Structure 1
Amino acid sequence: MDFKIIVDSCCDLTKDLRERFNISTAPLSIDVGDKHFIDDENLDREGLLDSMRNSSDAPKTASPGPGPFLDLYQKYENSFVVTLSKELSASYQNAVLAKELVKEEAADKFVKVFNSFSASAGETMIAYKLGELIEAGLNRDEIVEKTEKYVEDMQTLFVLDSLDNLIKAGRMGKLKGKIASFFNIKPVLGATPEGTITLVDKARGSKRAIRKLVEKIGERG
């Protein structure tokens, strides 16, 4: 039985992982000021980063609609899908809607959508786990069971290097943000069990923040 792994483009895949597990992507879109970017293989990354640095507004992202997911589901008989946390994006809901649409066309198609309760690297770890289970030759039900347990046990922590976009988006006051930036304060953030992002700790400077991150990982086992 052939299996297909599908992710949204928030999943931080390397070229090697994408090729090893033959992963397909439904792209998000990003608006910065009056510029529009599609987060696919043709994304102008330098142009995007330059626009973000020079814009006074925070970038606005839009999840893939049901269409890109549906296009992919139609190509494969068995699809495992990993999306951004449904608390952070409509990507999960759109992937599920596309599943309902493709089942109306072909009831025998199998689609399992996993809510990552995370983003970026968290999605990557789930996609990697799926790839390993498929390579190990497990059947469909075993893959679903083991992946659901993996998602349940997974914890995501990260250090935010720049506060600029939090300030631009109004999620941090300008004065507070300027003070934190002046003193080089780096927040350590993490995903909650519900799939939202919360402040775990903070430190002055990237090296200390990384040490805090390692400490938190150790505490959580």
Structure 2
Amino acid sequence: MRIGIVVDSACDLPQDFIQQNDIVLLPITVRIGDAVLADHRDEEATLSFLHAHVAERGHEAETTPFTVNQIRDLFLSRLVIDYDHVYCMTITKTRSPIHENAMQASFAILNDYKPVRQAAGHNSPFALRVIDTQTLFAAQGVTAVEAVRMRAAGANVQHMRTKLEYLASNSHGYMIPRDLYYLRARARTKGDRSVGLLSVALGSALDIKPVLHGHAGKTEPVAKIKGFENAVEQMFKFAGNRVIAGLLTPTVCLSYGGELGEMRALPGYDRLRDICANNNVEVFESVMSLTGMVNVGKGAVVVGFAAEPHTFSVS
């Protein structure tokens, strides 16, 4: 059986991994003033757009995910021919309409695919499963990586579905934003008043950074740590401790809102990489998607993994 894997462009994975494993992207278009870029996970294009537009006016950006009709057309023109079963894994539905768009499109796809497949010489049925990863950015990559591994190992579709949905329910993303004023400006642009001016001003004045946790469709602060580099080091240390305790899949995903060399120079990075290597956990590093950067700002750091329930702690 030919199994296809689809993600949206907010899913932070290395560009070469996406290409080598034929992962199909649902691009999200970003507009800042007159500048427009469809996010196809091209790291060079993302960094160029970042330096030219995001740092100054990114909080004003408009992001447009693939519509119901665009998703339907992509599947009927290509995916129902190339694959027999497709898993479409999206950013949490609480943060983007792309999951709902994919769900609505799936009804039309499953209703209309037969003549398309028959014309291509395929008489077998086609199946599609849309999975809400319940998280975002680097943490989205966990389910996609496991889908690639399971497909390569010849897992059957029911086993894959069960495992991927289980991982989605147990995927965790932790993020340290660099610029709280940007985060507040972006939140206000989107009509989210949860980031108060007083808390932002206080946090910036004292150089306090929140640790934000994305899990089960929710994004909320779980700690406040003084200093950006110190906060990142504590987050990396915590992730390393979770690796030692045992993950649900041998995967850690990292993403950064800028050049990866900057992330690799942050304190705690080398220790986390060493721990992962010693525990046979594969690390995937990528420049944060353009969609992610316009929402959380330049220089944010994210780590994602799948693990049993736990509480973030600073040691």
Normalised to the residue count of structure 2, the TM-score between the two structures is 0.64
SS in 2 for 1:201: strand
* Number of the residue aligned with 1:143: 160
* Number of the residue aligned with 1:188: 211
Q: Percent identity, aligned pairs only?
A: 22
TM-superposed deviation, 1:80: 0.8
* Number of the residue aligned with 2:68: 66
Distance 2:101 2:181 in 1: 29
1:39 correspondence with 2:62: no
TM-superposed deviation, 1:214: 4.3
Between 1:115-124 and 1:100-109, the stretch displaced more is 100-109
Between 1:77-86 and 1:100-109, the stretch displaced more is 100-109
* Number of the residue aligned with 2:104: 97
CA root-mean-square deviation = 2.3
* Number of the residue aligned with 1:21: 21
**Structure 2 unpaired stretches of 5+:** 115-124, 243-309
Greater relative CO (CA pairs within 8 A, separation 6+): 2
Amino acid at match of 1:8: D
The answer to whether the 8 A contact 1:73-1:111 is kept is: no
Distance 1:49 1:209 in 2: 25
Distance 1:32 1:138 in 2: 43
Seen in structure 2, the aligned counterparts of structure 1 residues 85 and 173 have a Cα distance that, compared at 3 Å, is: same
Seen in structure 2, the aligned counterparts of structure 1 residues 86 and 162 have a Cα distance that, compared at 3 Å, is: same
TM-superposed deviation, 1:184: 2.3
* Number of the residue aligned with 2:94: 87
* Number of the residue aligned with 1:206: 228
Seen in structure 2, the aligned counterparts of structure 1 residues 56 and 82 have a Cα distance that, compared at 3 Å, is: closer
Distance 2:21 2:68 in 1: 23
Amino acid at match of 2:142: M
SS in 2 for 1:213: helix
Distance 1:46 1:179 in 2: 32
SS in 2 for 1:207: helix
Amino acid at match of 1:113: V
Distance 1:190 1:7 in 2: 21
Between 1:81-90 and 1:151-160, the stretch displaced more is 151-160
* Number of the residue aligned with 1:124: 141
Distance 2:164 2:46 in 1: 33
TM-superposed deviation, 1:56: 7.8
Normalised to the residue count of structure 1, the TM-score between the two structures is 0.88
Show structure 1 runs of 4+ deviating over 3 A. 41-45, 173-176, 214-219
* Number of the residue aligned with 2:129: 112
Residues 27-81 of structure 1: per-residue CA shift (max 9 Å, x gap): 1111223433211256453224431222284323222212332233222332111
SS in 2 for 1:106: helix
**Structure 1 unpaired stretches of 5+:** none
* Number of the residue aligned with 1:10: 10
The answer to whether the 8 A contact 1:33-1:57 is kept is: no
TM-superposed deviation, 1:126: 0.9
Residues 184-218 of structure 1: per-residue CA shift (max 9 Å, x gap): 2221001142x021011111112321243246544
Seen in structure 2, the aligned counterparts of structure 1 residues 152 and 173 have a Cα distance that, compared at 3 Å, is: closer
